[in-house]
Amino acid sequence: MDSVSKENLNTIKKNKGKIIGLSLKKDREFVLEKEGEEGLNKVEKEMEKMGYVLKTEDIGNYEWYPVQFDSLFLLLSKYFFDWDEEIMKEWGRWAAKTHFLARIMAKFFISRKKLTEMANRLWRKYYTQGTLEVKFDENNNFGIAEIKDFLLVPSHRLYLEGYFYQIASLVISSSKLKVVQVKDKDKKNHRFKITW
Amino acid sequence: MSKETEKLLQMANNDLRDLDLYIQELSAFLPLAICAVNPFGLLITINSAFQDLTGYKEAEAIGKRMEKMFANGKEFRDLISSESVLKKKKQKRKMILLVKSGREIPVSMSISARRDENGEFIGYFIALLDIEDFEKLRESLEKKVKERTGDLERKTEELRESRVALMNVLEDVENARMLAEEEKNKTMAIITNFSDGLLFFDFENKLSLINSQAKSFFNIKSSKLIGKRLSEFSKKSALDPLVDIIKNSKNSRIKEVYREELNLKKNVFFEVSTIFLKRDKKKIGSLIIIHNVSREKVVERLKTEFVSLSAHQLRTPLSAIKWTLRMLLDGDLGKVNPDQKEYIEKTYKSNERMIALVNDLLNVTRIEEGRYLYRKTTTEIQPLIEFVISSLRDKIKKQKIKLKFIKPKKKVSKIKVDVEKVRMAIYNIINNAISYTPHGGKVDVSLMGEKDGVRVEVSDNGIGIPKDQQKRVFSKFFRAGNAVREETTGTGLGLYITKNIIEAHNGKVWFDSKEGKGTTFYFTIPFTTNH
């Protein structure tokens, strides 16, 4: 169970990277869809209390904003609405389907090889901090998506787990497809195992 | 980052935002459902119209297998797995879209391969055009066309059947026409070659047919008379003698066949029969048949002359025999014994019958030569009847006949007749009544004055005349079978002579009879007679 712990807040504060406004906006749309305007306002007010003032209508699609805004938004939403891990993963899958950037990039994901090549490019569309590497072991039907140099709280990791699942499903046609976090203690590097 | 770079970045960011807005606007406005599918057949991009059409939101549609979007998904799978989409620029297919609500919508799908900047295949662009309304319209039109086609086919079939029926009718009509033509030709051949002359006047009395024999009889060379009415024939026409007869026939009251003899010239006689033709009780015209009876006339004349000559030649010796026998019976030539007398009496009676027969024959020949009546005087008829009854008194007495003469209450006017001949006619009728009435029977003779003339009735309760023989009663030498059995001595000429006498006075004679019950003879003679 994720919680607004001091540790998580510190982790968020330490992430100095930026996120594209489009992504921020889309993530707020998910909350709006799930919990309505009231739910969204609740999260935004809490963020304001914590000193993170950013109204949805003020977000520019192609402006860059501190990743902290997004990580905190994910964290607070999970906390306030008591969402389980599956909803957080669904959020990630939803983002991979609806984000304009993901749609732009989807055309490149025509094979696992291509995904390997283009993975970091996709990361860079969203974030200014960190890298994404994806590798596949075709013989053993698995792959690893690894985020390096990027601080993540558990709720954000669940979100990305869903996101990677959706992206992986574009190049892996299997009902056995699974994406799971590899539980490392390293807070800056994060691995996700893709199996099918 | 320098200020200059920051400024350029800001400008690029603005451009990107404008472009994004433009794309969003375009996507929102575009009515055509568009989507992008990756090489595995997964939906990776859709526009607003796609969402509207399918009912799936973006998050629901993205990642979905495109083939699952169609009821005929296999066709889609076959299409994208074939090389044709990669080779051709764009392909069109009619597909059945399965929308979220489960409804099936016919769509026209355009599909083309999608390539990256290096020309590498990266999936498909697909556009879906909702053709449900078109399809409904098409189906409605097709249904209408089918119905109309069905109607047309039915009508065509009906027309074909009608045509066949009509052709059959035409064929029948043609056959009937040919038969009629054949019959007409036969009839015309018969008419043309008929030994009698034929003329046909239509219901307007216009001559519509004259055969060659008729032309020959009247020496007519042209057919100018065809189409002319009787009244239009010139007085000097060769047909003039015939016209009079035709007019007579039309003026007569005879409704079926009118016959008259025509003596065209010396020894040339025709029997002209006018037949009034009717169809469905409607008069359609008159057929004139001209039969040349010249030869029969000559033969008849020769026969009459022969009979007359023979009768004259026979009467002289018969008279001599009569007087000789009378002298023998009276004993003037010596005494004869009773046996001899009996034989002589029988011979005398036979001679008398022979004389009567010869007289009758002479009368007949005179009748046929038309020189029978030549002594007409105005007289009362009652004394003539009384005279005849008186002359038959012995016979009446002998046969015990109860004869009653019923005279008129008013006096009957005189008539102009040949007394001797009329007396003979009355005699023949009353004598027959007595002869053929059994002993003790009764005979009533009645005289009546009528408006136009006199009427005589002679009725008996005698043997009567068999029905099958009644038509021949007035013929020459005819005797009914029962009459011959009853009375062997008759000549069969009496009623023939009687009829000629009465008709020579413009009178009429007829009878009613029932075999075994009796007979009534009637005759009338008008007050004015031309003969």
DSSP state string for B383-448: HHHHHHHHHTHHHHHHTT-EEEEE--SSPPPPEEEEHHHHHHHHHHHHHHHHHTS-TT-EEEEEEE
* Mean pLDDT along residues B154-182: 88
Count CB-CB contacts under 10 A for residue A172. Answer: 21
Q: Which residues of A touch B114 (CB under 8 A)?
A: 107
Mean pLDDT of the B241-259 span: 73
> Cβ neighbours of residue B495 under 8 Å, at least 6 residues apart?
B428, B429, B432, B473, B474, B478
Which of A62, A94, A106 lies closest to B38 in CB terms?
Answer: A106
The answer to whether A107 contacts chain B (CB < 8 Å) is yes
| Cβ within 8 Å, pair A62-B121 | no
pLDDT tens-place string over residues A11-54: 999 999 999 999 999 999 999 999 999 999 999 999 999 999 98
Q: Which of B38, B86, B124 to mutate to test the interface with A (most CBs of A within 10 A)?
A: B38
Q: Which CATH superfamily is domain B31-130 in?
A: PAS domain (3.30.450.20)
Pick B376-526's CATH classification: 3.40.50.1010, 3.40.50.1000, 3.30.565.10, 1.10.287.310: 3.30.565.10
Cα distances (angstroms) measured from residue B407 to each of B120, B449, B508 = 150, 10, 20
- Percent of chain B clearing pLDDT 90 (strictly above): 30
The share of chain B scoring above pLDDT 70, in percent, equals 96
Q: Which CATH superfamily is domain B194-292 in?
A: PAS domain (3.30.450.20)
Give the pLDDT of residue A104.
85
More confident residue, B376 or B404: B404
What pLDDT band is residue A1 in, cutting at 50, 70 and 90?
very low
Contact indicator for A14, A167 with CB cutoff of 8 Å: no
Confidence at residue B307, expressed as pLDDT on a 0 to 100 scale: 78
Per-residue pLDDT at B286: 85
Is the pLDDT confidence value at B100 over 90? yes
**At residue B368, does pLDDT exceed 90?**
no
Interface of B with A in 429-448 (CB under 8 A): none
| Domain locations in chain A as residue ranges | 6-87, 95-195
Would you tell me how many other CB atoms lie within 10 Å of the CB of residue A47?
18
Q: CA-to-CA distance for B207 and B239, rounded, in angstroms?
A: 12
Q: State the nearest Cα–Cα gap between A62 and chain B, in angstroms.
A: 6
Q: Is A61 within 8 Å of B20 when comparing Cβ atoms?
A: yes
Residue B467 burial (CB count, 10 A): 10
pLDDT higher at B246 or A169: A169
Cβ within 8 Å, pair A97-B58:
yes
pLDDT by residue (tens digit) across A72-81? 999 999 999 9
Which whole number is the average pLDDT over B442-466?
93
The per-residue pLDDT for range B413-439, each reduced to its tens digit, is: 899 998 988 999 999 999 999 999 999
Contacts of A163 in chain B (CB under 8 A): none
* B107 to chain A, closest Cα gap in Å: 25
Extended strands (E) in B305-408:
376-379, 402-406
Is the pLDDT assigned to residue B530 strictly greater than 60? Answer: no
Average pLDDT score over residue span B176-188: 87
Contact status, residue B212 vs residue B299, Cβ threshold 8 Å = no
Residue B105 pLDDT:
92
Helix (H, G, I), strand (E, B) or coil at B269: strand
Using the Cβ of B1 and the Cβ atoms of chain A, whether some distance falls under 8 Å is answered with no
Q: Is A139 on the interface with B (CB under 8 A)?
A: no
Closest Cα in chain A, distance from residue B154 (Å): 58
What does the pLDDT read at residue B488?
Answer: 66
Tens-digit pLDDT profile for residues B484-518: 777 767 788 889 999 989 988 889 999 999 999 99
Does this chain's domain B297-369 share its CATH topology with B376-526? Answer: no
Instruction: Give CA–CA dist B504/B369, Å, rounded.
Output: 13
**pLDDT level of residue B531 (50, 70, 90 thresholds):** very low
Q: B29 falls in which pLDDT band (50, 70, 90)?
A: confident
Reported ipTM = 0.85
Least confidently predicted of A39-53, B86-100, B251-265, B395-409: B251-265
Q: Which of B56, B73, B38, B39 is nearest to B47 (CA)?
A: B56
pLDDT at site B448: 93
Which residues touch B4 (CB under 8 Å, ≥6 apart)? none
Position B230 pLDDT exceeds 80: no
pLDDT at B88: 67
Q: Which residue has the higher pLDDT, B107 or B361?
A: B107
Assess whether pLDDT exceeds 90 at residue A57.
Answer: no
CATH number of B297-369: 1.10.287
Q: Of B38, B45, B62, which has the smallest distance from its Cβ to A110's Cβ?
A: B38
Average pLDDT value for residue range A125-142: 95
Average pLDDT over chain B, rounded to an integer: 86
Under an 8 A CB cutoff, do A107 and B16 touch? no
Residue B128: pLDDT over 60: yes
pLDDT bucket at B67, cuts 50 / 70 / 90: very high
Q: Which residue has the higher pLDDT, B223 or A110?
A: A110
Give the helix/strand (H/E) hosting B93: strand B91-98
pLDDT at B254: 61
Alpha-helical regions (H) of B194-239 = 212-218
Residue ranges per structural domain of chain B: 31-130, 133-182, 194-292, 297-369, 376-526
| Range from B142-151, B303-312, B369-378, B473-482 carrying the lowest mean pLDDT | B369-378
Residue B237: CB partners within 8 Å, gap ≥ 6?
A: B225, B243
